[in-house]
Structure 1
Amino acid sequence: MSLQSTGSKAILWIESNYNFLTKTEKKVADVVLQEKEKVVYSSVTDLAEMADTGETTVLRFCRKLGFRGFQEFKLAVAQDLASSVEEVHGLPKKGDTIADIALKITATNTQALKDTMGLLQHQELEKAVDALVTKKKIHFFGVGSSGFTALDAHYRFMRLGFQVNSAIDAHLIAMSCALAGPDDVVVGISTSGSTKDLVDAISLAAANGATIICLTNHARSPITQYAHAILLAASKETPLQGGAFSSKLAQIHLLDILSTAVALKHSETTAAAIEKTAKAVIDKLY
């Protein structure tokens, strides 16, 4: 039986149609009803673990309620919780002065960086650095906002003298991953860790023997099951905030740490590459 969701009334539909759910789907529903705020910031894997079920059950639950998938369901829950993302996150509100807005945003971004440092596992960073300096080619992939982070990473590592590729188009990512092998490092960037186009492609690269590094906000998300090294950013965002700048700053911060560690490990080679690339564009500047 497929229920029809209307607007953003996800919670209402769960309560109204609870008796139509299977036993395992009711476990998911119970968690959602009791932990609405937590669910908004969770991955599909997180919710499955919270409900002591599988990811397939969570997806079936979402579809039974009329949603196309977990992300659409989360969006509806977020809309139920608040009329605006500002109320969910405690961010600037209408009526705040410019000074208030600046202070609140600065506090949010500063906290995101501090929390990211708190999550940083040195062993995971070391594994990522070792892979980047020993393999022949590096690939940075991301979809949507995370795709632009992948392009930033491509630029930085190219300046350091590495053979680098990047893609933000789902088809190019899939084809690149299908051709990746044991001599390649594939860095998948996804705030949610659940972007299907990216996760499916990463699975191809992993099956081919490529080393996988993932940069995500969720330690337990579909992309991490393929990762040899996991770099965690701490900034939270609801489905209403896709591409939030605080998430972007946390990602860039981790890439800055990663690229600096790589550059210092191979300082002679990277110093020469930085000089060459700088000279290549020097006549482009006044």
Structure 2
Amino acid sequence: MGRTNAGIFMLNEMKNKLPPSERKIAQYILEYPEKAINMTATELGRESETSSAAVIRLCKSLNLKGFQELKLRVAGDLQRNEVLEFRDIEPNEPITSTIEKVTLNSVQTIQETANLLDTDNLNEALEALLKGRRIYFFGVGASSIPAIDAYQKFLRINRATSALTDLHMAATAVANASDEDVVFGISFSGETHEVAKILEIANARGAKTISLTKYGRSTVSDQADINLYTSATKEATFRSGATSSRIAQLHVIDILFMCLASRSYEQTVDYLDSTRVAINNLNEKVKKKK
């Protein structure tokens, strides 16, 4: 399971996408979380006027392993002392207030994303990245930024990596992939047609596929072998899809990179030292020319 909170967030995010019986259970838990965490699946089914089978189906819809995990996550939420709420900017807002709001929104996004990351899925993604002959990161629009960030990070530790941001170039590259390669699709909405299509091509080639989307089932996540999620955060009015969501995606890339570095620590340090020396040498040559 790995994480022991984000249950209330999951229920809030998925509530309107659930079948009627599961929605009733989600609504009951959101209204009476303290009571729900002390119930059995049978008791919750009875109290929500559904059934224990519907409770189990709800857990599956939330990508959880069972009712016990859901209860632990909700209980973890109840133990948190502070609740951060998204705060949008207002017309002619003072700079100090904007700084505070943007910072708090970013902190909330990072924390929610950390809570959503399933360590089993993260470990599976890590193993794929460690074993992959070549790694293709693909994202378009705002999601191209974490793809490029991943490329430069993995390149520094001598991983055969590409950052693809054009559909035709991505299709050309992935069409020649094999079952030894990894294709990592990034889409905040999870409904980016280009990303879903590239993962579909990768699957046909037998490559291992990983998705990074906001929490919940989507077209992109359905195409991937391994699903990683960020917070389904709200966005500031004037920067929709490009502030908190980007920070959440970069946060997951950083976590993957650090986990990979930890697995091959000595070798990673050697690679980073080599790249640092090369960059320093370049800088020294530039200084001498000046």
Match of 2:212 among 202, 208, 215: 215
State yes or no: 1:248 paired with 2:249: no
Q: For residue 134 of structure 1, report the CA deviation from its aligned partner.
A: 1.0
Question: Hey, what does 2:256 align to over in structure 1?
Answer: 258
Q: For residue 233 of structure 1, report the CA deviation from its aligned partner.
A: 0.8
Q: CA contact under 8 A between 2:215 and 2:232: conserved in structure 1?
A: no
Q: 1:229/1:160 Cα in 2 relative to 1: closer, same or farther (>3 Å)?
A: same
Residues 221-232 of structure 1: pairs in structure 2 closer than 5 A: 221-232=218-229
Q: 1:93/1:275 Cα in 2 relative to 1: closer, same or farther (>3 Å)?
A: same
Distance 2:173 2:234 in 1: 29
State yes or no: 1:159 paired with 2:156: yes
Match of 1:104 among 101, 104, 113: 101
Match of 1:142 among 136, 139, 143: 139
Q: For residue 191 of structure 1, report the CA deviation from its aligned partner.
A: 0.4
**Larger relative contact order (C-alpha < 8 A, sep ≥ 6)?**
1
State yes or no: 1:173 paired with 2:173: no
Q: Secondary structure at the match of 1:151?
A: helix
**Over the residues paired in the alignment, what is the CA RMSD in angstroms?**
2.3
Distance 1:147 1:51 in 2: 37
The amino acid of 1:182's aligned partner reads D
Match of 2:271 among 273, 283, 286: 273
Distance 1:143 1:51 in 2: 35
Unaligned ranges ≥5, structure 2: 1-12, 22-85
Q: Secondary structure at the match of 1:213?
A: strand
The amino acid of 1:247's aligned partner reads S
State yes or no: 1:187 paired with 2:184: yes
Residues 194-209 of structure 1: pairs in structure 2 closer than 5 A: 194-209=191-206
Distance 2:168 2:259 in 1: 32
Question: Hey, what does 1:86 align to over in structure 2?
Answer: none
Q: Secondary structure at the match of 1:232?
A: strand
Distance 1:177 1:195 in 2: 17
Q: For residue 132 of structure 1, report the CA deviation from its aligned partner.
A: 0.6
Q: For residue 218 of structure 1, report the CA deviation from its aligned partner.
A: 3.4
TM, length-normalised to structure 1: 0.67
TM, length-normalised to structure 2: 0.66
Residues 77-156 of structure 1: pairs in structure 2 closer than 5 A: 90-156=87-153
Q: Secondary structure at the match of 1:165?
A: strand
Q: For residue 273 of structure 1, report the CA deviation from its aligned partner.
A: 1.2
Q: Secondary structure at the match of 1:179?
A: coil
Cα shift readout 1:70-95 (whole Å, capped 9, x = no counterpart): xxxxxxxxxxxxxxxxxxx6401013
Residues 55-66 of structure 1: pairs in structure 2 closer than 5 A: none
Identity %: 30
Q: For residue 284 of structure 1, report the CA deviation from its aligned partner.
A: 3.2
Q: 1:164/1:49 Cα in 2 relative to 1: closer, same or farther (>3 Å)?
A: same
Q: Give the total of aligned pairs.
A: 207
Cα shift readout 1:131-183 (whole Å, capped 9, x = no counterpart): 01112111111011111210110000011111111110111111122111101
Q: CA contact under 8 A between 1:235 and 1:246: conserved in structure 2?
A: no
Distance 1:267 1:163 in 2: 18
Q: 1:48/1:179 Cα in 2 relative to 1: closer, same or farther (>3 Å)?
A: farther
Unaligned ranges ≥5, structure 1: 1-40, 53-88
Q: CA contact under 8 A between 2:145 and 2:246: conserved in structure 1?
A: no
